Amino acid sequence: MACRLEQVPEVGDYYEYKIGRQSILVVRESEDSVKAFRNACLHRATRICVGAGNADDELRCPFHGWAWNLDGSIREVPDADDFAPECLSRQSLQLPETHVGTWGGFVFINMSDNPEPLLDFLGPIVEGLAPFEVDKMRLLRFRTTVMDCNWKVGLAAFNEAYHLEATHIWDLSGYAGGTRINTRRIQRPPSGRPKERINVRDAQGRTPGSYQFLYETYQTHNMMRNVPGMLTDSAPLSDMGDPKKAAIELLRLQQMISLAHQDDIDYVEALPEVPADVPSVQFFTDVRRKVGAAQGIDYSHIPDEDMLAAIDHCIYPNMVGPISAGNWILFRFRPNGDDPDTCLYDVMFLHRFGKDEEVPPVEHEFYPKWQDHDGWGPTIGQDLSNMGLVQAGMHETTYKALRLNRQEAGVRNHEKFIDRYMTH
């Protein structure tokens, strides 16, 4: 996935997508067409455009001024007479393109010669995400940092729920209290690591990744989601004390991982009373529907049990992230140049804005070191802190292979298809 369509809204807009050592220029050629060019001047290889911006009606190389039209045809070679004519045949000066496809408001590229059609490749992802109308979502925030691990290690850390108890449950306990089933014990999220473990295991001693999630694999892609039972089995807000305070606190935690939005918090704050005895996930589901309705967004086609199920599709090869009605946090992992020990970690918050709401412009935030940014929220911060340890451990000469369980079916599936693509 190279970018969102809303990142190239106007004719002449370009967006540079970097992957490994390659750079692709996504260009809005006309109102209804987007092209993707390989970003190397046909004269002496200069990157033609970097970053993002508007090129007006030509892509012009900064070095000697060769210029192309937005359809990739050559427009100007200064002092053309000083070249041997065979250097400048019109056809050979067409800027090389790469295959491009759009779906769900995203621009995808494929650098192979003859890729399968995008929708065939995406397969069940298209159907799975259809109710959430991701084409109508817009970027709310977009952050990138460098992770201390290979891109596959980074992706895998977000493609299973087995790590929840050991890595996150301390800070997620409040949030999990809103979603977890089989336990009525609610504790406020502690500041710092508590000495005692919060009991999030069920009667059989299973951790939430085992009893709280469903897992499926589809060809190259995979999916995990909260079990439908969480809707009715979640603990009521009164278990956390004052229900209104609890609701707002839980929504703030959800907001950090884009499972709730400020609109939900504002709505709850304005309520004279919050029901104490309704299962909390049912309450949050009703809030989301009502906020949507007030903004002209209809979620009636989404069943209650899917509204906030954090349905988490891993879109092969390098994106994963949970979606709920109106909100999606999508993670993308890219090789960092040719360094196999680090990767670029993109965090995209996507939101469904109301009919009359203005979509504020989004600035791409880049943090060369993830430690330099303190806005990841507790959850992602904990994920990030594991990554360097994994990457370092993988170099230990005694470490031979991953051992993967049922909850890590997506990780196994991903590795399997990566191996296939590498060897075929």
Q: How far is the CB of 259 from Fe ion (least distance, A)?
A: 13
Cis amide prior to 62 (ω within 30 degrees): no
Report how many residues bind ligand FES under the rule CB under 6 A.
9
148 binds, among Fe ion, ligand FES, none (CB under 5 to 8 A by kind): none
Q: How far is the CB of 46 from ligand FES (least distance, A)?
A: 4
Nearer to ligand FES, 43 or 290 (CB): 43
Q: How far apart are CA 260 and CA 284, in angstroms?
A: 9
Q: Which of 22, 23, 46, 94 binds ligand FES (CB under 6 A)?
A: 46
Nearer to ligand FES, 44 or 245 (CB): 44
Nearer to ligand FES, 14 or 215 (CB): 14
Q: How far is the CB of 172 from Fe ion (least distance, A)?
A: 9
Nearer to ligand FES, 46 or 386 (CB): 46
Burial class of residue 161 in the structure, from the number of CB atoms within 10 Å of its CB (0-12 exposed, 13-18 middle, 19+ buried): buried
Q: How far is the CB of 79 from ligand FES (least distance, A)?
A: 11
How far, rounded to the nearest angstrom, does the alpha carbon of residue 348 sit from its chain's CA centroid? 5
Angle at 123 between CA 158 and CA 329, to 5 degrees: 30
Nearer to ligand FES, 60 or 290 (CB): 60
Residues 6+ apart with CB under 8 A from 404: 411, 412
Nearer to ligand FES, 92 or 219 (CB): 92
Q: How far apart are CA 2 and CA 125, in angstroms?
A: 17
Q: How far is the CB of 119 from Fe ion (least distance, A)?
A: 30
Which of these ranges, 13-21, 190-198, 383-391, 396-404, lies near Fe ion under the rule CB under 5 A? 383-391
Query: Can residue 43 be called a binding residue for ligand FES (CB under 6 A)?
Result: yes
61 binds, among Fe ion, ligand FES, none (CB under 5 to 8 A by kind): ligand FES
Restricted to residues 59-88, the positions that interact with ligand FES (CB under 6 A) are 61, 63-66
Does residue 63 contact residue 43 with C-beta atoms inside 8 Å? yes
Query: Can residue 383 be called a binding residue for Fe ion (CB under 5 A)?
Result: yes
Q: How far is the CB of 112 from Fe ion (least distance, A)?
A: 32
19 φ, ψ (degrees, to nearest 5): -140, 120
In angstroms, the Cα distances linking 371 to 145, 328, 367, 374, 393 are 9, 24, 8, 7, 20
143's enclosing H/E stretch is strand 138-147
Provide the token pair at 117: 């059609």
Query: Can residue 283 be called a binding residue for ligand FES (CB under 6 A)?
Result: no
Nearer to ligand FES, 64 or 188 (CB): 64
Q: How far apart are CA 211 and CA 189, in angstroms?
A: 21
Nearer to Fe ion, 292 or 321 (CB): 321
64 binds, among Fe ion, ligand FES, none (CB under 5 to 8 A by kind): ligand FES
143 φ, ψ (degrees, to nearest 5): -125, 145
Q: How far apart are CA 65 and CA 77, in angstroms?
A: 7
Q: How far is the CB of 44 from Fe ion (least distance, A)?
A: 45
Give the residue from 125, 83, 81, 86 showing the smallest Cα distance to 106: 125
Which residues are near Fe ion by CB under 5 A? Answer: 383
Which residues are near ligand FES by CB under 6 A? Answer: 41, 43-44, 46, 61, 63-66
